[in-house]
Amino acid sequence: MNHPHPATGDRPLALVDEHAHAWSPKTARARFREGLTGPTAGVAAGHTQANLISVPADWAYDMLLFCTRNPQPCPVLDVTDAGTWTTVLADGADLRNDLPRYRVWRDGELVDEPTDVRAYWRDDLVTFLIGCSFTFEWALAAAGVPIRHVEQGRNVPMYVTSRPCRPAGRLRGPMVVSMRPVPPAHLSAAIRESGLLPAVHGSPVHCGDPSALGIEDLDRPDFGEAVEREPDDIPVFWACGVTPQAAVMASRPPFALTHAPGQMFLTDARDEQYRVG
């Protein structure tokens, strides 16, 4: 499988505007609509972020079944009707141009990374909004867990693993994970706090040796950017909502739209709505 690189030139939005953490989701979406791009970690603090994938209606059942069979990497927050570009998760939002950057796929190949997909929109597209681990980073930070990629102004590193997802209809593919280096003293807090938010991937799928997931080099992520680690940091891996993009590359549906990795949809929902304890 060939892993396309993300668009170049997109800086983390927390670096572009030091007030990005205090934006409302509506303000963030308006800025994205105007053309602002970049990874959204740390933007609109306290509000839930979501991965996006739109597939033709005749692939929608397969995608729904894929998400149902693989709930940790693909926790569904909303599914639209065919052709609909609105969502109950964000009043007045337009899913076609309210994300910083998108990806356009044809037959499993990446063909464009625009900031607006209205020109590509089709009346048969069904959109899935899937939980994102950026959502639980605020819980980690509140518990004292350092968030290295935010501290370093980088997109979170993401890796395609050797762990296959459970197939569904025509869809198959490997699990993708995001990685955050965690000091040993904070590991239990990271596991506990993320575990309270199962709708945004929940607890880690693995801690420690990356080779157990088939990852050969942490400094060469498939998506996002490598982060600098402290000598005693433990690499901690969470299931990632880029997994459907890996399924698109493996299964080659005729057409799909997705978010660019790390450049998420900002919903109006509050993080605490998805906390189970």
Q: Inform me whether the pLDDT recorded for 63 exceeds 80.
A: yes
Q: Inform me whether the pLDDT recorded for 7 exceeds 80.
A: no
How does pLDDT run across 127-168, given as a tens digit for each residue?
999 999 988 898 899 999 999 998 998 999 999 999 999 999
Predicted local distance difference test score (pLDDT) of residue 12: 72
C-alpha 40/C-alpha 22 separation (Å) is 12
Q: How confident is the model at residue 16 (pLDDT cuts 50, 70, 90)?
A: low
Q: What is the largest CA-CA distance in the chain?
A: 51
Question: What is 101-147 written as a DSSP string?
Answer: -EEEEETTEEEE--S--GGG--TTEEEEEEE-GGGGHHHHHHTT---
User: Closest Cα to residue 161, out of 211, 202, 215?
Assistant: 215
Look at the domain 135-239 and name its fold.
Answer: PSTPO5379-like fold (3.30.2040)
Q: Inform me whether the pLDDT recorded for 13 exceeds 80.
A: no
C-alpha 260/C-alpha 126 separation (Å) is 18
Q: Inform me whether the pLDDT recorded for 277 exceeds 80.
A: no
Of residues 27 and 135, which shows the higher confidence score? Answer: 27
Residues 6+ away with beta carbon under 8 Å from 171: 59, 62, 63, 65, 66, 247, 251, 253
When mean pLDDT is compared across 69-83, 127-141, 168-182, the lowest value belongs to 127-141
Q: Inform me whether the pLDDT recorded for 4 exceeds 60.
A: no
Of residues 16 and 36, which shows the higher confidence score? Answer: 36
Of residues 11 and 98, which shows the higher confidence score? Answer: 98
pLDDT mean across residues, the chain: 93
When mean pLDDT is compared across 33-47, 49-63, 89-103, the lowest value belongs to 33-47
Determine the average pLDDT of the residues in 102-129.
Answer: 98
Strands 76-79, 256-259: pairing is unpaired
For the chain, give every domain's residue range: 135-239
